[in-house]
Chains A and B, each alone.
Chain A
Amino acid sequence: MSSIDFLFQGIIKAFELIFSLNPYIISITGVSIRVSGTATILATLTAIPLACGITFLNFKGKQALITLINTGMGLPSVFVGLFIFLMIVPAGPFGFLKMYYTQEAMILAQYILITPVICGISLAAIKAVPQPVIDTVYTLGGSRKDIVITMLREARFGLFTSVLAGLGRALAEVGAILIVGGNIAYTGSVGGIGEGLSYTRSLTTAITLETSKGEVSTSIALGIILISLVLSINILANFFQRME
């Protein structure tokens, strides 16, 4: 079988899996959305206020913090996964939380991975607001608060892009959640597509599993579902932006 055949079979299989509403596929897609969506919401709530604080406040160690955030944008996910796993296993310092092999651990891992991404892009977006805009608010007698609000409003597209970038990285990520979540599905689907539902198996970790078994067309099908998911979020986001 040629690789093009795999691709075609994968596309056909993707449609079969989507339109048959296969419960296993729905459950792994659900885990992907739930974990990455929650991580993105939490990361946004941390990152954007942090970016504002860095932009509008002056404090010691500001430059060091910016360097830390920029470094964090390139954190290797496997390392983050392993580090968190060692922290949360019973033999580790946070073992009492019993977070190992749970969706909460997956959310935590992705939160750590994408907070710097959202923060870094937000910083750049706020910084890119043209100086004349700020000057105008100032000359019109605007207070410090007015300047902050104006800058955030001017930077809104960039801020929005930062959230989408974070969500995109979270949905595509596999290294960290594979380690902390364990890629677990209930009996019936332990070895791949079956009757069992997902516990900590996401679209990306399922792709890893199917590829390792040589089920290439299934992997392609899952990949197509993942890409469609990201695409529809972006179309929605685009629509949202054009409403302005």
Chain B
Amino acid sequence: MRNLSVKILFVSILISIFAGCVQQAPTGNTTTPIPTASVPLELRLATTTSTCDTKLLDVLNKKFEETNNVKILTVCEGTGKAIATGELGAVDVVMVHAVDSELKAVANGSFINRSYMMYNYFVIIGPENDPAGIRNASNATEVFSKIASKQSAFISRGDSSGTHIMEKSIWKAANITPAGTWYQSNGKGMGDTIITADTKEGYTLSDRGTYLSMKDKIKLKILFESDQKYLFNPYHVMSANPVKFPNVKYDLAMKYIGYVLSPQGQDIIRNYGKDKYGEALFVPEEDAGDVTGP
């Protein structure tokens, strides 16, 4: 009999552990200080890995959440998947960087109000000894030609992200169909791809922000940059089309886009990264001047 009661005790301990965890969820969420009594609205944002990995969104979104009693649920997954997620109606707003894919998704009616918010430049990184000799190339297509003719290792994102789409367009402009053991498709996010390139001492195309946020952990260096034609990297925000997806929070999405483009939002983008990396990671649309998005 004693045996049985000990068993019951143990089972109830196990159950209470799980039950405790189940109950922890709502309290954990609601005890975070919310000045107003109302439950915060949730805004779903799908975005590219670069805005997450650089932690820009952790800073940019905070101000918006505080002033509007909103919780932003950010899904970080690369431009290709972020747009696909939006096309299934699962998010209210997307922040992406692949002009052609964006325009296609706007044309098929999934998104509206596409707005230019910021840009930076892609950089070509590689091992310091630069086996393909790309340092003194005059433009990005020449860099890619040199890498291909030397058959130096090149790690491609291979995931239909904004960076991967840009990479493919450079190969196309250079009239090269990359193939062979030197050209390796990684199928992962920017950070993963940089790490793979670092391990294999290969070249890769990266957005400047992600490279800067990782440069202390890797040996690869920026070997080529400032090709304004092929390495231009504009970011856009767009809202899901409420006509196609009646359940999306259109008003809130528009408020968010308005905030990102407002002087307040643009100022956060302008200064983000200066203290940590010695330079800003992104240039806000306000400062773009002649550098306008297509």
Contact indicator A212/B88 (Cβ below 8 Å): no
The main secondary structure of chain B at its interface with chain A is helix
A interface vs B, CB < 8 Å? 27, 30, 33-34, 37-38, 41, 86, 89-92, 95, 98, 100-101, 103, 182-192, 194, 196-197, 199, 209, 211-215, 236, 240, 243-244
CB contact between A101 and one of B49, B90, B213 (< 8 Å): that residue: B90
Closest residue on chain B to residue A41 by CB atoms: B18
Residues of chain A within 8 A of B252, CB atoms compared: none
Q: How far is the CB of B62 from chain A (nearest CB, A)?
A: 5
Q: C-beta contact mask, B43-69 vs A, less than 8 Å → 1, else 0?
A: 010000100111101100110010000
Contact indicator B58/A90 (Cβ below 8 Å): no
Contact indicator A243/B75 (Cβ below 8 Å): no
Residues of chain A within 8 A of B44, CB atoms compared: 101
Contact indicator B10/A213 (Cβ below 8 Å): no
Closest residue on chain A to residue B19 by CB atoms: A37
Contact indicator B58/A243 (Cβ below 8 Å): no
Closest residue on chain A to residue B66 by CB atoms: A187
Contact indicator B54/A191 (Cβ below 8 Å): yes
Closest residue on chain A to residue B7 by CB atoms: A243
CB contact between A38 and one of B18, B62, B85 (< 8 Å): that residue: B18
The main secondary structure of chain A at its interface with chain B is loop
14 contacts between A and B (CB under 8 A): A30-B28, A37-B21, A90-B245, A91-B87, A91-B88, A95-B247, A185-B74, A186-B72, A190-B55, A191-B54, A191-B76, A212-B195, A213-B53, A243-B10
Residues of chain A within 8 A of B22, CB atoms compared: 34, 37-38
CB contact between B89 and one of A90, A184, A244 (< 8 Å): that residue: A90
Contact indicator A90/B52 (Cβ below 8 Å): no
CA distance A41 to B15 in the complex (A): 10
**Contact A183-B76, Cβ < 8 Å, known A90-B88, A91-B88, A212-B188:** yes
**Contact A190-B28, Cβ < 8 Å, known A90-B245, A90-B247, A243-B10:** no
**Contact A27-B75, Cβ < 8 Å, known A90-B89, A187-B57:** no
CA distance A188 to B64 in the complex (A): 13
Contact indicator B74/A187 (Cβ below 8 Å): yes
Residues of chain A within 8 A of B57, CB atoms compared: 187, 190-191
B25 at the A/B interface (Cβ < 8 Å)? yes
CB contact between B25 and one of A34, A92, A209, A211 (< 8 Å): that residue: A34
Q: How far is the CB of B253 from chain A (nearest CB, A)?
A: 14
CA distance A186 to B31 in the complex (A): 14
Contact indicator A191/B52 (Cβ below 8 Å): yes
Residues of chain A within 8 A of B90, CB atoms compared: 89-90, 100-101
Contact indicator A27/B194 (Cβ below 8 Å): no
CA distance A20 to B199 in the complex (A): 33
Q: How far is the CB of B158 from chain A (nearest CB, A)?
A: 14
Residues of chain A within 8 A of B195, CB atoms compared: 212, 214
Residues of chain A within 8 A of B72, CB atoms compared: 186-187
